[in-house]
Structure 1
């Protein structure tokens, strides 16, 4: 069966249609290069949606996985293991946190955080302290709880009735936040940079104001760093750029460098409100995932890698501005580190996916962040020559896009 010949049409035949993948099938990768079934080579600016922090088949990750694969794969949560404890120690020693809960994805990490917030409210002694404040255009995952917390109705409206007690207000609007955060609020969940919502950074004063409001009302401040964490912004975690420390932080994506893993990291004050049996997971914290994450995290958490992320951001922005001077399709280039959003001008609204498809034709993998933003989340160590080649292919895609616009005019 492993030798079965498959085609892109087979996706339509056999897979539940919740995705609309590209018309090619990728079969192998090395560094920031990937190849399809026809041996066409692509430069990877997508990074598995900010997951492949060290690119494809990095020796550090491969060695950690293969070594662990010969020792211990899975034992369930009735036992602990060495890799999970080593990874917990790394996270605790390098962040604000005292405790860690491991799971398999960002959605699961956010689910754990939001459930804990409700427990915090219950133990507060205030009967109605169960309201969660989130922000419009946010994204926190696809479980029913997390998709409701996300502020994008297009992802939740078909699955009503939705969990209650979640209120959305405008991102980066502190006055609106003050109007809804009160004694009934058990938690505020926010992304330091809205990723899926358009690569939109939070204002520092907005985050500081949320911290103060949570302190005043006894609410838990949750930072969703699923996309921004593990070096993506040039700091180990984005909160480190803000001067604001959350009570709970969720992390996933880059944490395993491509191997599925997620985590909720938390202070003792709130961690100890969870009791044995309150929450759990079968696969979370398994030795394979934690061994890989240990190696990836340790590799990234160095001045060389983190400073290199900022250098690559500057390099990307210079190149993108040069391309945009030629085609004039983007209103703004924004983001931090290697989470970059190219915001389309109003006259090109809704065309981000078209541009990404054209980039694919030119041999470049890219992403959208909503209908109006082209997003790049490449490897944190992508070579500068690969950035040059990728931008050259992006320029070719924009040339074709501009040509199509002229034909339609």
Structure 2
């Protein structure tokens, strides 16, 4: 088999492969003989159709089928012979395809880039340092009470935190505008659900009361015609409800898995969950910064085939998140929405692969076991989940992948510039993009 390799541009390769005529012709002949045994044609007994008739009717289709197989097999042999690493599927073109003559075809594809792993000492990481205090536990219990509170109608003026049922109509220059009216809408005051000034204007109103509120739409409001516009809302309050919070009693604790109704046990359980959340939040922030550092350190061409695959994966993921049905074609989502994120993901994947190869890292079995047990501990029958994960290669592979990422992060942190930043629990568990400064 003759093979020549040409670099057309960047990561693209054009491989020309010559395959001996005998290999193709023998395969075609064998396939036609197999077909002859089962071909049924009028005027002939089953299995007795003459070969010339089989060739006349099916020869071209069989040859095309054989060519596809031969090109695929020969391509795999060629890339192994030339020590190439294809990224994505190749495109095939038969440039000489005549029975009795050597086959020649061209395969065009991209290869994986050569990634030189940079030193990690230039990467800077700010690591949050926090602990769960008694006050944090008390605040969390209060949050749990708020989440389980129920609204009850009251006969008084509305206050922040109350829920009101309202009719409203928005007027701009005395005329109603689209989307500015509703009837019987529930609104929790202080939630920030409406534009600035709207909810504040309702505070102090009672059921049955009507009032006009002057507000100005923000300059960055989504509706172009309302940006920065002064409007009047005619408000009618139908009902005022206050939130009644449950007592932290045995029944309340039981809802969170504490059966003995003991306050110390409950607080210990809340603290344990908060500490797990804190650990995961800190780990996630550190990992995010390490990944940012690795992505910024490594510049190289990306295989477009891999980027396209990642874009398609992200499209499908978005469809699942928003409940897109089978009638919705994911390809309708513009690739530009995902391209930057997809390129970062592919770049990091290739960098991680290079680091794993350079440092010969394998998923640490003990860390995998610990991760599996941590996941299982959140379920009622953890032993069953542990057994299921270990018997499910796909699930186990995902966990091993996550552990390997953690091992790479640890490796980077050994050399990176790490600055510890003490902060309260609430700040430490907030996503990075929600933190001040």
Asked if TM exceeds 0.5, the reply is no
Length-normalised TM-score, structure 1: 0.24
Length-normalised TM-score, structure 2: 0.23
Q: Which has the higher contact order (CA 8 A, sep 6+)?
A: 1
| Structure having the higher Rg | 2
